Amino acid sequence: MSLELLPKEVRDTAWKSISAGIDNLFVVPRVTITAAEPSDATEPDIGELKAPTPRKQPYSIVLFYQYTPIPDTAAFRAWQEELCHALGLTGRVLIGEEGVNGSLGGSVWCVSRYISEMERQYPCFRGVDWKRSISTCEPFPDLKISVVKEIISTGGKIRPPKPNEGGVHLSPAEFHAALAEPNTVVIDVRNKNEFEIGHLDKAVNPNTRTFAEFPRFIENNLESLQGKKVLMYCTGGIRCEKASLFLKDSGLTDVYQLNGGIHRYIEAFPDGGKFVGKNVVFDRRGQVPTTNATVIGHCIVCAVPYDSFQGDRVCTVCRDPLLVCGECKVRQRGVFYCDNHDYLKGSYYYFLEGFAVPELHDQLSRLQMLHTSLLAGTGKETHKKKNQRKTITKQIDKVKAEIERLEALPTPEVIDLTKWRFVWRKKKNKRERERERER
């Protein structure tokens, strides 16, 4: 049964019950779909969803999240798939019991219709900050809707926030003004790759690969944050919801976050304001510049200004994206190392095809020496190097397996070219004599 068939009072009561955690009142609606273009600018009747014909451009992109209880995640996922397929939307939607996190793209009309359907069917989405932007290229290759444990992964280290439980939300203008206040610390909650090509001036870089590493950064720096006014920001706001909650649970009280993230900040300050560089986005655009086209990133090899992450330029060990210019990509033959794995340079190669057995033995010797060196020191020191030893051990096994594979190949037969030429000439002379007889 669809929620739209219920009286408004009953529907509102149901949603209040959902928020209180009563699972059996969560009803997932269904939608009737046709493929006709609206005949005028007005929306079609509520009971009928009409998707317009596909348009090449411009593409509209919507970024959104909402922390709200979703007891039946499987049913909600099925409805999302039906709705998005009907509207021809592509992108990513993560659904968890704690809420929804999505980024979708399609025609301007279809994205607008998606938003109106979400708000009509579920009143809890009426307070969502739907962050929209325009792209001249198709933003996503396909549609992927997944049920996950957390809509922004922390490895279970941070609990889902309740309404108004995290930091104080500041508008872009308020946040901009707060940046100049004394005794203030600004923390970039995004990962280190995002920070490298764009960040707020004087922001602290936690140097994390994933958001799950953020709690450890706070634990290691909690004492230095005591008594400070802590300002936090991320791309769209979702990471700050949990990050600010973690700070408050850790005992800090003066915690603030940028409402709408850098997305809204750049809208308010098109020249970037205090933000320098480019904002990383998670669609095919890759990054969004401000009107101030400053390049703050650098090639990790030659250090020339460069700020574009490419899919074929990653750390050969951990596969993390790296800033590598085109010339260095050719010069380094596609083999690069991040700061964390620079010590493996010349010893560790992701692809072993093309190496001869002697070269593999040389790699094996280097890796074994590294593994031995990581065992030196006190118990605490060797424990910290546990992950490094694990990485090297896996590579040692991989190199050994490749050596065994190559040595097991059959030895190619050596051809005696002198004998082969003699036989060929003998056969040639025999054929010539036979042709002479035929004449």
pLDDT tens profile 261-299: 999 999 999 999 999 999 999 898 888 988 887 899 999
Question: What does the pLDDT read at residue 294?
Answer: 87
Q: Between 371 and 411, where is the model more confident?
A: 371
State residue 136 phi and psi, 5-degree precision.
-85, -10
- Helix ranges (DSSP H) in 332-414: 357-373, 379-384, 386-407
DSSP-derived 3-state class of residue 108: helix
Is the Cβ–Cβ distance between 272 and 266 less than 8 Å? yes
Q: How far is CA 111 from CA 58, 120, 127, 296, 370, in A?
A: 12, 14, 17, 33, 54
> CA–CA separation, 187 vs 192, rounded Å?
12
What mean pLDDT comes out for the span 384-398? 89
DSSP-derived 3-state class of residue 156: coil
> CA–CA separation, 114 vs 104, rounded Å?
10
- Identify the bridge partners of residue 133 per DSSP, sorted by sequence position: 61
pLDDT at 51 over 60: no
- Work out the pLDDT band at 354, boundaries 50, 70, 90: confident
Least confident of 33-42, 151-160, 178-187, 393-402: 33-42
| Top-ranked range on mean pLDDT: pick from 55-59, 355-359, 420-424 | 355-359
Nearest in space to 232 (alpha carbons), one of 223, 217, 220: 217
> CA–CA separation, 208 vs 196, rounded Å?
12
Question: What does the pLDDT read at residue 317?
Answer: 93
> Would you call 318 a catalytic residue per the annotation?
no
Question: What does the pLDDT read at residue 428?
Answer: 56
Question: What does the pLDDT read at residue 380?
Answer: 63
Query: Strands 59-67 and 229-233, how do they pair?
Result: unpaired
Is the Cβ–Cβ distance between 39 and 94 less than 8 Å? no
- Per residue in 300-347, pLDDT tens? 999 999 999 988 899 999 999 999 999 999 999 889 999 889 999 989
For residue 58, give the DSSP letter: P
Question: What does the pLDDT read at residue 434?
Answer: 67
> CA–CA separation, 246 vs 215, rounded Å?
7
* Catalytic member of 234, 299, 325, 328: 234
Question: What does the pLDDT read at residue 272?
Answer: 93
> CA–CA separation, 51 vs 107, rounded Å?
10
Nearest in space to 175 (alpha carbons), one of 116, 233, 104, 110: 233
